[in-house]
Amino acid sequence: MAKANKAGKNDKAKTRREAPLKTPTALGEPAQRDISAGLNALLADIFALYLKTKNFHWHMSGPHFRDYHLLLDEQADELFAITDPAAERVRKLGGTTLRSIGHIAKQQRIADNDAGFVTPADMLAELREDNARLAAYMRETHALCDEYNDVATASLLENWIDEAERRVWFLFETGR
């Protein structure tokens, strides 16, 4: 019996050395792989949209400066608030998440805007389109969660989709 316990402990130690970040999940390896990949792509998009929103917040100008400046700051905070729960969900699934700005750049689907000047109306329109695109990507990931019966990730996504749709609505109404 003592030999069996010692062998079991050695097997566990070997597993921790060989796969130290492999969190156990009941969803299975295909779900872990596919949902983690979907969440990492979303996380890259969220970081890209967060930085674009802050960029436009910092470079806002014009007669509606204060209102737009505050709106974009609020929306950037909302986006940033998603990053940790999204990354932690990847880890709960047994995956690994983004590690650097370069990793984000490789995964992001939301385009950067490095223009020296963007009009306030164009800022609002671009952010509206990007948030709508983000909501669509979230729906795609939600459908993937449904395939694997990952209700926990789907639940998070449902809230984030609602928040993205709210940002789209506010940007639409503000930019009219």
Q: What is 68-119 written as a DSSP string?
A: HHHHHHHHHHHHHHHHHHHHHHHHHTT-----SHHHHHHH--SPP---S---
In the chain (176 residues long), the average pLDDT of successive 10-residue segments reads 62 59 81 97 98 98 97 98 98 95 98 97 98 98 98 98 98 94
CATH for 27-174? 1.20.1260.10
Give residue 48's pLDDT: 98
Q: pTM of this prediction?
A: 0.88
The C-alpha atoms of residue 103 and residue 154 are separated, in whole angstroms, by 24
Give residue 20's pLDDT: 56
Give residue 103's pLDDT: 97
The C-alpha atoms of residue 170 and residue 176 are separated, in whole angstroms, by 10
Give residue 8's pLDDT: 61
User: In the 8-state DSSP scheme, what is residue 150?
Assistant: -
Domain boundaries, the chain: 27-174
Give residue 19's pLDDT: 59
> Tokens 């597993």 — which residue?
15
